[in-house]
Structure 1
């Protein structure tokens, strides 16, 4: 019997995890599902505030929240502290939410789709008799690494804290994918050894008993983009690329994407309309990356040195002590600086020439889907692996080199912008990738077929 499923979606409480799961939720809504989207209380308030209304009622998705266990004064960028608090607080709160939805509102949840980094939610679902599915918001290659952690520990490559046990520089996960460098193991790029240890153990716990709580592993990627990785984990189904969804209800204003922690500055779209095609350097570093003042100064002066128009996202965090100042000599006449961008719309604009990016997976997919070339500036976690993939495998971007002071200098920024935009070979490659990715989400594409398989399972 075909029925209307009610799917509870729970992302890890970070912008880069909320975005693809919100997009996935909208796809489910488009196919007749009811969606309950569960943020942490802290992030729920940010999302509602950015939507310019009091309760998120303009969204076709029911927005709810549960506490993450931390007070308002805590630093949620500290992933170790956040994850310890999540694991001790949220499972019981999620169970109570599911119970309250049914008792107080008559809403019976039929499936839980959980971010792999919230994998404990499927253990809660199994406990209360609800089926579930994992959702992996990053690359399939990084998932293969995460999935093989027990093997890496058993083989003596990692210890139980996730640290390398020897001087080995590379290791093999499978004969079907190239060797991986120890330096690109994502949890080794979390800056603080204590954070690394805590978060590694948290993710291992999220995957505990995973094969017994679901048969569904959904991934925001495509076969064509990562064929070797998908061949290693046949049960991992690509349903990407997932793009941010916009609220088109109000046609009198430019639409805003849903699920954002900051309000988007839509004035940049009018500014882009005034620029020549393939002329603008777009610069954005996601929701977490921070700079010191010296590097911020070099970036500002480097953008000016390119003598090209630039659109630069300088995130405004009211509670963040990491406040940067533009140098006195910075004129900025050719550029526009905004606090947060409607990135999918920006990257689809014909004025964009290249993307200076932190290499978060969402940003990579959004850029690739629009045929954009990359200048890679990774900050932490899987972004270093993603940079190598962009530069060495897909060959649609370049990385920056550090100077003797450990900085990316203004001269290096100008040189790499000129090199990338002067390379005639990257444009055909980026356009070919764009066509492949768009085909995947078309009616007959592999990602669409996988989504339909999941929907059939949900409804019967």
Structure 2
């Protein structure tokens, strides 16, 4: 008798990784009513997700009540973990990553063995990026694995050409790293300026770089994918077919790629490592605003912000003359509290520490999203049909901002000044470009509505993403 399908969803302990991983776990449960799912991140992140849980040594966190979903943390070898968005810095991150791989791999092996001993053997491991060792541990135990890519397929394709392209792509990028305007042409992809490529291959290749460990981990990840033989490695992607037709074609010969997204949260099931403000506080406020009138601004879970940048943001938002909802994380407030009164200057808007972003973007009052262009935020905005002002800085964000503005034409890209600050006048200009009365703004809003329809069809019953998810659940790789 075959074991019951059991997916282990493993994720790095960043909010931007935890959110799509947990959403995937719930999608798997819905797609396969007979399946089991175990969700695993580090012990420290687990405690932040479930602060009322007294022990992380037992898989006692089934919040669905039927035993199908369990939360089992793995050890990263530390007592506190790496705290992002709350005191960690880049140098500390490199030090953390140096021990993370070995400890995580040992702990994952122990989890797989313990689940098998309990009569719940894992039949498939799905792991997010920055966890290349997960595939090796699974392979050693005869368990199939799949990379869950939580960035655009276009970014995956660029990394593929850089790390597995025979040295040609890497040589071109490395030779022109100091020329941000140099245009790189890669097989199957449109030309990209160096400034728009993922920062981990344009800034972090030097061992002295504060985020060098991200570069080496991605290199290891693509080496791991290349060891998946005799079959091609399976990569499930939080994107959809129609969004990235050309990028998918650029990698289909090397990998079995299944776009299953956008993977969004189900109602009331968005656990994370940040405590949200009371929803009524901002949702009631939105209820009293006219349709498409509110500017929503959030730079995600990692971006730092100094006093000068916060001042410019508030000034720019006020200068638009439009109501706005601005997210300023608790850790940013803690750093700035002695220097600035956060709500000083706020007349037309509301400032919150964290919120249910999908609920906000789904609200009829929201007409624009000023975003750091993290992939989760971009997908949520696309799905809700909200135009964007993009400000990408790190990792895939610059590429995402370019896709938003040039490829899908659902927003504009903001530029920072020589000090790296988004100035009030630039923010005001960009907001007007997507919310104003001109033809260009009307076209951006029209494209946002069109992509909302396309994505809705993909994730709906029988759509391309729905079919791909079922293919993955059923153990096949054909769309």
TM-score, normalisation: structure 1: 0.89
Verify the 8 A CA contact 2:305 2:332 in the aligned structure 1: no
Structure 1 residue 412 displacement after superposition? 2.2
Deviation at 1:443? 1.1
Which of 430, 434, 447 aligns to 1:416? It is 430
- Unaligned regions of 5+ residues in structure 2, if any? none
Is 1:314 matched with 2:316? Answer: no
Paired position in structure 2 for 1:85: 99
Report what 1:22 is aligned to.
Answer: 22
* Equivalent residues in 2 for 1:205-216, closer than 5 Å: 205-213=220-228, 215-216=233-234
Which residues of structure 1 form unaligned runs of 5+? 247-254
Contact 2:155/2:396 (CA < 8 Å) preserved in 1? yes
Q: C-alpha distance in 2, partners of 1:391/1:53? A: 46
Provide the C-alpha distance between the structure 2 equivalents of 1:380 and 1:167, rounded to a whole number of angstroms: 17
Q: 2:195 aligns to what SS in structure 1?
A: helix
Partner in structure 1 of residue 453 of structure 2:
435
Q: 1:114 aligns with which of 106, 109, 127?
A: 127
Provide, for residues 305-340 of structure 1, a one-character-per-residue CA deviation record: whole Å limited to 9, x for no partner. 222111111111399746585558934232111111
Looking at structure 1, the residues matched to 52 and 21 of structure 2 have their Cα atoms a distance apart, in angstroms, of: 17
**Which structure has the higher relative contact order (CA within 8 Å, separation 6+)?**
1
CA distance in 2, matches of 1:27, 1:298: 40
Is 1:314–1:339's contact at 8 Å kept on the other side of the alignment? yes
Deviates further, 70-79 or 413-422: 70-79
Which of the numbers 180, 193, 203 marks the counterpart of 2:218?
Answer: 203
- Structure 1 residues 333 and 455, CA, compared in 2 at 3 Å: closer, same or farther? same
8 Å contact 1:313–1:338 — kept in the other structure? yes
Alignment length, in residue pairs? 447
The verdict on how the C-alpha distance between 1:220 and 1:413 changes in structure 2, with shifts beyond 3 A counting, is same
Q: 1:450 and 2:458 equivalent?
A: no
1:196 to partner: Cα distance: 3.7
Out of 86, 89, 95, the residue aligned to residue 109 of structure 2 is 95
Residue number among 41, 44, 52 corresponding to 2:43 in the alignment: 41
The equivalent of 1:70 in structure 2 is 78
Task: State the alpha-carbon separation in 1 of the partners of residues 125 and 342 from structure 2.
Answer: 52
TM-score (norm: length of structure 2): 0.85
Q: Find the counterpart in structure 2 of residue 250 from structure 1.
A: none
1:35-434 equivalences under 5 Å are 35-49=37-51, 56-59=61-64, 61-72=69-80, 76=84, 77=88, 78=90, 79-103=93-117, 105-152=118-165, 154-155=167-168, 157-158=170-171, 163-164=174-175, 169-174=182-187, 176-186=188-198, 187=200, 188=202, 193-213=208-228, 215-234=233-252, 235-246=256-267, 255=268, 257-267=270-280, 268-317=282-331, 321=335, 326=340, 330-403=344-417, 405-422=419-436, 423-434=441-452
* Alpha carbons of structure 1 residues 6 and 195: separation in structure 2 relative to 1, 3 Å: same
RMSD: 2.9
1:66 partner SS? coil
> Which secondary structure does the structure 1 equivalent of 2:130 belong to?
helix
Between 1:410-419 and 1:26-35, the stretch displaced more is 410-419
